[in-house]
Amino acid sequence: MTEKPASPVCYADEASDAYMGYAQRYEILDVLNGLLEVERACSRIALASSQLQETAGYHHLMVGIHDHAARWCGLLGRHIQSLGGYPSQKTDTFFKETMALSEPLERLTFFNLEQTQMVRRLEHLLPRIRDDVLHGDLKALTDKKRADIEWSNEYLHEARKNAPSAM
């Protein structure tokens, strides 16, 4: 019997992130900048929508979403910079599309669709993030987005339930 190991030495710890299935820096930067552009649009939409003469509940919802979006813009920008990238200065076209809707409930419904797509993008990216701090922050963003979507959906449900029916 020999004293040689039965299998070759494992070099997994020397493998690149891409080889191990993790997202590469350029991919992370691309996704984070895309999320930043959408988040900037969300912030602007929520701020503008909070000025509408709607119910106090609508105003409270929009101010809360604006505060969250502003926080996430800062967080995304910091992570982009920490990865050696430059935060995009653009606002996603989603802003113009949403603001073109004059009816607040219709606007909020469309807004929620984009928020849901953002959560899906984050869910796709999260398992491929190796950095624990970035992963934790993106997980927190995802969880808060889900909570905001639920909050918005509850508002929409109540508003539609209490709306005078058209006869």
Split into its structural domains, the chain has a count of 1
Label residue 64 by pLDDT band (50, 70, 90).
very high
Range of 112's domain?
22-160
Three-class DSSP labels, the chain: CCCCCCCCCCCHHHCCCCCCCCCCHHHHHHHHHHHHHHHHHHHHHHHHHHCCCCCHHHHHHHHHHHHHHHHHHHHHHHHHHHCCCCCCCCCCCHHHHHHCCCCHHHHHHHHHHHHHHHHHHHHHHHHHCCCHHHHHHHHHHHHHHHHHHHHHHHHHHHHHHHCCCCC
Residue 11 lies in a domain: no
Residue 101 clears pLDDT 90, i.e. is over it: yes
Residue 61 lies in a domain: yes
pLDDT tens digits, one per residue of 116-157: 999 999 999 999 999 999 999 999 999 999 999 999 999 999
Residue 51 lies in a domain: yes
pLDDT tens digits, one per residue of 39-51: 999 999 999 999 8
pLDDT of 43: 95
Residue 100 lies in a domain: yes
Q: Count Cα atoms within 13 angstroms, Cβ side, for 29.
A: 12
CATH of the domain at 130: 1.20.1260.10
Residue 165 lies in a domain: no
Residue 75 to residue 139: CA distance in whole angstroms: 12
- Across all residues in the chain, what is the average pLDDT? 89
Residue 119 lies in a domain: yes
Residue 166 clears pLDDT 80, i.e. is over it: no
pLDDT of 167: 45
pLDDT of 21: 80
Higher per-residue confidence, 92 vs 86:
86
